[in-house]
A and B are shown apart, each in its own frame.
Chain A
Amino acid sequence: MPAPIIKVDAISKSFGTFKVLDGLSMQVMPGEKLALIGPSGSGKTTILRILMTLEKIDGGHIQVDGEQLYHMERNGQLLPADERHLARMRQKIGMVFQLFNLFPHKCVMDNVTLAPMLTKGVARAAAEKRAMELLDMVGLADKAKAMPAQLSGGQKQRVAIARALALSPKIMLFDEVTSALDPELVEEVLNVMRKLAAETDMTMLLVTHEMGFAHDFADRVLFFDRGRIVEEGKPDEIFRHPKQERTQSFLKKIIAAGHRV
């Protein structure tokens, strides 16, 4: 059995007096597709942001791809990671945000090529060739010269996915990537993600309120509540036969709100 690619060990994180993660532990296997669900404030987005090094942790350890994320081993001691260590670890991870976070002053092509050219020293011609392949994969090859402001939300999000993929991360984090989209634009983004899951062996972590998509997409579903994983299992177990009372009541509310499962 291969080693987990992500090992989260007793992570705690507070915003002020609000304890958003409370000794959270979890493991993710290489290539696994994981859906993180739960009420807002349950910590599911925070753990993605912590994996992307956008939040600091208060306590605990995280291993990514066999190495400590927030610590460095020096002479057998664990020290807090410096910027160089974090930069090296970030190469393994990519993230797509709820609000796309495209660079509004750069065209689609430059959004995708900027990071590979700056962080990996890829030549412009090679970066643009790779960008065109990725834009083609997300169905936006004809928009390479467009500015983000000229795109629909769904198109923006597909560019953001291509931009993250351009760095060839081993792990992709998707943070409510369809929550800000008009309903009719959700499917085009989900299709890209289905394609990605089918064609690559990337590890994917997905925070979502699209329960139907989570059911079809994920190998495993984690239900978060109050900074802990309350229940986890195969999609069918979680969505059809939830054992925990809190999972049941959450799913009931979601269905009542009109989301399909």
Chain B
Amino acid sequence: MTQWSGYLGLILQGALVTIELTLMGSVLALIMAFLAGMGRVSRFFILRAIATAYIEFFRGTSIFVQLFWAYFVLPFAGLSLTPLQAGVLALGLNVGAYAAEVVRGAILSVGREQYEACTALNLGRWQGMRHVILPQALLVMLPTFGNNAIELLKATSVVSLISLADLTFQAQVVRSQTGSTLMPFLSVLIIYFALALIISWGVRTLERRMARGLDGVRV
């Protein structure tokens, strides 16, 4: 049993890498989501085109392939990334493309009358977006952002393929060293699930806090 605690240490180290990837990937995904999502509703054709191309490309190709490109192909273009950087880049860009559509949908879900109130009060387009539309849209985005974050957490396991020692990678190490299959895979199963629960809970708390005062009344 004492020997297990050592192996558990390995798995927990992997968990830290997974958490790190999830957090950094989520930050990049969030940035990409807002850039591309707002690009999609821009009145400038060129911004709409760039945002659409980004979204379609990263939704339409596999995250494995994107990761391999980030890690194995970019060096040929003179850009060498560490496994962690490549992982964050691939995860952030991939999930960001899905979340961009969430941002776009949420912005469009805010009623036309809110945009008209902005015009009548002479707010500029960006002022209205920043102070009136986005704060209301954010509440619509949050639940789906929670889903996206959980998807990203689960997708982090692909980085084990570029030998980054994340949770899944460490489970395989422990399995090959001990010959035990159940123990490592059961522990990572539980840890992934626990992390996902934390994300769900965090997003729900945020949602409740932001909805305060609205009383569930969405005009």
Contact = CB atoms under 8 A, between A and B. Distances in A.
Q: Which among B113, B122, B125, B127 has the highest number of chain A CB atoms within 10 Å?
A: B122
Contacts of B131: 114, 118
A54 B120 contact: yes
Given A104-B214, A150-B215, A94 B120 contact: yes
A121 to B, nearest CB: 12
A97 interface: yes
Interface residues of A, number: 28
B136 A119 contact: no
Contacts of A163: 121
A249 interface: no
Contacts, number: 74
B5 to A, nearest CB: 50
B78 interface: no
B121 A107 contact: no
A119 B121 contact: yes
A183 B136 CA distance: 30
Contacts of B123: 114-115, 118-119
Interface of A: 52-54, 83, 87, 90-91, 94-95, 97, 99, 101-105, 107, 114-115, 118-119, 147-150, 163-164, 167
30 contacts: A52-B120, A54-B119, A83-B125, A87-B124, A90-B119, A91-B122, A94-B120, A95-B120, A97-B113, A97-B120, A99-B113, A99-B219, A101-B113, A101-B114, A101-B120, A102-B219, A103-B136, A104-B217, A104-B218, A105-B213, A105-B214, A114-B132, A118-B127, A118-B131, A119-B123, A147-B213, A147-B214, A163-B121, A164-B120, A164-B121
Given A90-B122, A94-B120, A97-B117, 20 more contacts: A52-B119, A54-B116, A90-B120, A91-B122, A95-B120, A99-B219, A101-B117, A103-B132, A104-B136, A105-B135, A105-B214, A115-B121, A118-B123, A119-B121, A119-B122, A119-B127, A147-B213, A149-B214, A149-B217, A150-B215
Interface of B: 113-114, 116-117, 119-125, 127, 131-132, 135-136, 139, 213-215, 217-219
